[in-house]
A and B are shown apart, each in its own frame.
Chain A
Amino acid sequence: MSPAESSAADIESLQKAAKDKLDAHAYEMIQWHFHESTGSPFWLEKKSGLNFDPLKDIKCYDDIKKFPLFEDEWLRGGPINRWVPKGLAGKPVYVFETGGTTGIPKSRMVIEDHWRDYENFSDTLPEKYFPKGANWLMLGPSGPRRLRLAVEHLCQYRGGICFCIDLDPRWVVKLIKKGWMEHLEEYKKHCIDQVLTILSAGHDIKCMFATPKLLEGLCNALEEQGKTFKDTGITGIFSGGTEFTPQWTRFCVEEFFGGPPEESGIYMTPTYGNTLMGLACSKPVTAEDGYKISYYAPQPRAVTEVVSFEDPNEVVGYGETGRVKLTTLTNELFVPGFLERDEGEREKPFATYPWDGVSGVRPFHETASATTVGVY
């Protein structure tokens, strides 16, 4: 049944089922993270400072509001091992970083979350444009980034081989902050040159991840060579970030791809995510809907809410603007209510994702001017 065919009653019932599942999952995760035998040193230590007992007092998702907001500064500095749940001790651990242009970056330890998140995401990709077994190109950051390994895993999970480029996003941010715009352009060209080389090498690449800026750079470079994006043979693109606006999507679809997927054979899906959350998928983006981009978190593993600027525990009305609040509930990481650096409008559930979504995601207006958007 398509979303359009779903009746209000169907949605309501799906919504209730999703809510029940979330409540059960939230209870299970709290038991895991705060039990002496399975919890991480970080949360077990925090538990002693709480004025409630999570094991007894958290019975459903809404009860998580009893926790104070998560401060991402807690992720800065070590020891990283304090984040490893005892229940997962001994498993190989990755560390993924955010920030770090200057000073100590924020670190998140991961065991298999990035695999699970991207495997779930894989199920949402249309086979026609993201064929199984196809090789991929990762046109995004390299280094200690979740994205690089996650995209490679996504590709491998779908039976393909992933080609990557060298791209240091910290250097990009430094160039912007220094105002070295010519160097920035050269660095962008350096990245695009790597892509053009890979694409010219006969690897039969059909799918790619690209940040909006780099995808635009690639399309421009191809047009300067008298080619179009279609000539690359790539049919499926997944991209993400606050720069992925409706206008940018429309521009890309109409001018670089040559029309919607049915005409051009090129499908692009936006995503919203970060190192703390998995990957929020988008409702299909269409010209009829004004290229509106609405994201839905991978519940119950992560939940996004659009909350009042004044009270982070108060969800705004549908269509109203608020700050994006994230809660992560996997057995590797517990993040109770983290206020993202983004804002947007609250979106209604629909059949595919019967829970709240967020549209119009953009940098939070109070910090936007201080945010340097690099390559992604």
Chain B
Amino acid sequence: MLNIPVIRWGKPYDSLEIDDVLHFATGEPIAKVSQANAGIIARDLRQVSKARDTLRQIPCSEIIEILKKAADLYESATLPIGDGTQTPEEFAHQQSASTGLPEHMCRHNMSKNSFVLRNMNQILDCLTRGLDLNILTRGYGIEHRGVVLSYQAQASALSAVLPSNSPGVHTLWLPAIPLQMGLVLKPGPQEPWTPYRMMAAFTEAGIPKEVFAMYPGGPEAGAAVLNASERAMIFGGTPTVERYKGNPRVQAHGPGFSKILLGDDCVDDWEKYLDLMVESIYINSGRGCINCSGIWASRHTKEIAQAIAEKIGPIEAKPPTDPEAGLAAFTVPGMGKAVWGMIEADLKEAGVTDMTAQYGERLVEQERCSYLRPMVVHCNAPEREIAKKEYMFPFSTVVECPEDQMLAKIGPTLVCTGITNNQRLIDKLTDATHIDRLNIGPIPTSRLNWLQPHEGSIIDFLFRSRAYQVTEEAQAAL
């Protein structure tokens, strides 16, 4: 069994408090993870400026090249972890065993992370709108138009309080290192795997280990990371997002409530979009904030819901090692049952129809875990309570709503796919401030273009564009 230490600016630290990471199906311990107390975090983070100082010794362009090597290592190499090693196969197996995600999805997430590392050059080029990265290093410089500009770093490291249930979120913090920011991670209790493997890949590829800090621990550790960090990401539910709203030091990532809107001009051809609707709901076991949880149209909604239900309703829970497994397990005891209880309550409302009911029981309880089989629920109006819900399994409502009322009623939406050629509707979607990522045309909500920012640009989060004036002589020398 692996023993995974706290990492304090590259140095392993074995805590006296240990948490067992258990196999969700057997209950067997997979790893013993040292737990960081809050005091350690606060104390270490007083030294955070050293991380940026260290990374600023390596040009961004060089780090980007190192990351390409790290991508290969992350995806293919046997890497050190704690007091042992880990092959890519072991990684997928361990991540699946503790999070409940099928192994083939874990492997897919590995490829996704590697892709981002490998293409960091283009990603940063797009996120910075073509900025010379040396300007970020130095804090000021001159761009090709001959204008002096300054991007002032607002932190020396990016911190992230990570979830256990969604291994896909890790791509969001990967740009920190090439932006010459240290990394401070509080891994999710069931998902230490990606942060530690990523750190191993980075350091094996040549990034100095002293720019990394890993603080596994309980809620107190998460609070300490947020409290002591100049810039931090946190992943959680709606209350978490509300709590940090307006706090410039914290970027809170919550539920996505991602949706597909079918315009009146396209809705009669809904069958053409059936596969993209199914993919948006079902891919990655519906766990991501980018998975679709609501399809909105003015007509044909019952037929749409029925057709999706026919595709995903019969899907069964399969063992995580099965290459055909499409559903992730709920590994927290009682969670599946509790979620099902909430859904059952909402299904009692008039105008709400469970279109997947005919495909058998949705809640599948096993000895140490539970599954919820995919659900499609029809709502005859946007006012139905269940139309505002999102769950951590393939779940979507199909909501009947006149096109001219959709934008007023959809609520906050992380990814919106607007299937329409109606320029008036496209303009309204473009202007809607409660939509974050907008796809115009038949693009699955789950299909992200990595060259686009996600929930706010990380550049704007970590740097501040500000005035910087120098004399003409000094400008000429830049």
Contact residue among A181, A224, A252, A290 (Cβ-Cβ distance under 8 Å from B39) = A252
Judge whether A131 is part of the interface by a CB distance below 8 angstroms: no
B30-66 interface bits toward A, Cβ cutoff 8 Å, 1 = contact, 0 = none: 0000010111101100100000000000000000000
Q: Secondary structure at chain A's binding surface: helix, strand, loop or mixed?
A: helix
B247 vs chain A, min Cβ distance (A): 9
Task: Flag if B46 contacts A179 (CB, 8 Å).
Answer: no
Q: Is the CB of B243 within 8 A of A179?
A: yes
- Asked if A223 meets B46 with Cβ closer than 8 Å, knowing A185-B227, A290-B16, the reply is yes
- Tell me how far the C-beta of B436 lies from the nearest C-beta in chain A, rounded to whole angstroms: 25
Task: Give the residue of A181, A185, A224, A245 whose beta carbon is less than 8 angstroms from that of B37.
Answer: A245
Task: Report the separation of the CA atoms of residues A248 and B43 in the bound assembly, to the nearest whole angstrom.
Answer: 13
Q: A179-B243, A220-B39, A246-B16 are in contact. List 12 more A-B contacts (CB 8 A).
A: A181-B223, A216-B42, A220-B46, A223-B43, A224-B46, A245-B16, A245-B37, A247-B15, A247-B16, A248-B39, A251-B37, A255-B43
Across the interface, do A220 and B16 meet the contact criterion of CB distance under 8 Å? no
Taking the closest CB of chain A, its distance from the CB of B65, in whole angstroms, is 37
Between A and B, 30 residue pairs with Cβ closer than 8 Å are: A181-B223, A181-B227, A185-B227, A216-B39, A216-B42, A220-B39, A220-B42, A220-B43, A220-B46, A223-B43, A223-B46, A245-B16, A245-B17, A245-B37, A246-B16, A246-B17, A247-B15, A247-B16, A247-B35, A247-B37, A248-B39, A250-B16, A251-B37, A251-B40, A252-B39, A255-B39, A255-B40, A255-B43, A290-B16, A291-B16
Interface residues of B (CB under 8 A from A): 15-17, 35, 37-40, 42-43, 46, 223, 227, 243
Q: How far, in angstroms, from A185 to B223 measured CA to CA in the complex?
A: 12
What distance in Å separates the Cβ of B460 from its nearest Cβ neighbour in chain A?
23
Question: Size of chain A's interface in residues, with CB distance under 8 A?
Answer: 17
Instruction: Give Cα distance in the complex from A180 to B422, angstroms.
Output: 46
**Within the assembled complex, what's the spacing in Å between the Cα atoms of A250 and B40?**
11
Please indicate the chain B residues that have their CB under 8 angstroms from the CB of A250 in the complex. Answer: 16
Interchain CA distance A252-B39 in the complex, whole Å: 9
Closest-CB distance, B88 to chain A (whole angstroms): 33
- In the assembled complex, which residues on chain B have CB atoms less than 8 Å from the CB atom of A181? 223, 227
- Chain A residue with Cβ nearest B40: A251
Binding site for B on A (CB under 8 A): 179, 181, 185, 216, 220, 223-224, 245-248, 250-252, 255, 290-291
Kindly name the residue among A181, A185, A251 whose own CB sees the greatest number of chain B CB atoms within 10 A. A251
Cα–Cα, bound, A191→B39 (Å): 18
- With the chains together, A252 CA to B223 CA distance in Å? 19
Cα A304 to Cα B35 in complex, Å, equals 29
CA distance A313 to B40 in the complex (A): 40
User: What's the least CB distance linking A300 to chain B, in Å?
Assistant: 33
A66 smallest CB distance to B (angstroms): 38
Interface centre among B38, B223, B243 (most CB of A within 10 A): B38
Give chain A residues whose Cβ lies under 8 Å from the Cβ of B17. 245-247
- With a CB–CB cut-off of 8 A, which chain B residues contact A247? 15-17, 35, 37
Q: Do B37 and A248 have beta carbons less than 8 Å apart?
A: yes
Report B-chain residues with C-beta under 8 Å of the C-beta of A291.
16
Q: Bound complex: CA of A247 vs CA of B5, how far in Å?
A: 14
Among residues of A, the one whose C-beta sits closest to the C-beta of B43 is A255
State whether A251 touches B39 (Cβ < 8 A).
yes
Task: Give the distance in Å from the alpha carbon of A209 to the alpha carbon of B46 in the complex.
Answer: 26
**Nearest Cβ distance between residue B343 and chain A, in whole angstroms?**
24
The residue in B39, B42, B223 that gathers the most chain A C-beta atoms within 10 A of its C-beta is: B39
The winner among A179, A246, A248 for most chain B CB atoms within 10 A is: A248
Whole-angstrom distance between the Cβ of A180 and the nearest chain B Cβ: 10
Chain B nearest Cβ from A114, distance in angstroms: 30
Q: Of all chain B residues, which has the CB nearest A292?
A: B16
List of 3 A-B pairs having minimum Cβ-Cβ separation, nearest first: A247-B16, A247-B17, A246-B16
Question: Which residue of B15, B16, B35, B46 has the most chain A CB atoms within 10 A of its CB atom?
Answer: B16
A69 to B40, CA, bound (A): 41
In the bound complex, what is the Cα–Cα distance between A342 and B92 (angstroms)?
Answer: 39
Bound Cα distance A248, B40 (Å) = 9
Closest residue of chain A to B223 (Cβ to Cβ) is A181
Q: What residue of chain B has the Cβ atom nearest to residue A224's Cβ?
A: B46
A295 to B38, CA, bound (A): 24
Closest A residue, CB atoms, query B39? A216
> In the complex, what residues of B have CB within 8 A of residue A185's CB?
227
Residues from chain A with Cβ under 8 Å of B15 in the complex: 247
The docked-state distance in angstroms from the alpha carbon of A29 to that of B35 is 45
B342: min CB distance to chain A, Å: 19
Min CB distance A359 to B, Å, is: 13
Minimal beta-carbon separation of A362 from chain B (angstroms): 11
CA distance A224 to B46 in the complex (A): 8
Which residues does chain B contribute within 8 Å of A224, judged by CB atoms?
Answer: 46
Given the complex of chains A and B, what is the CA–CA distance between A246 and B16 in angstroms?
A: 7
On chain B, the residues within 8 Å of A255 by CB distance are 39-40, 43
Chain A residues contacting B46 (CB-CB under 8 Å) are 220, 223-224
Docked Cα-Cα span, A354 to B435, in Å, equals 68
Cα distance A220–B44 in the bound complex, in angstroms: 11
Complex Cα distance, B227 from A250, in Å, reads 22
Q: Nearest chain-A residue to B42 (Cβ)?
A: A220
Chain A nearest CB: distance from B333 CB in Å? 13
A52 vs chain B, min Cβ distance (A) = 43
Contacts of A246 in B (CB 8 A): 16-17
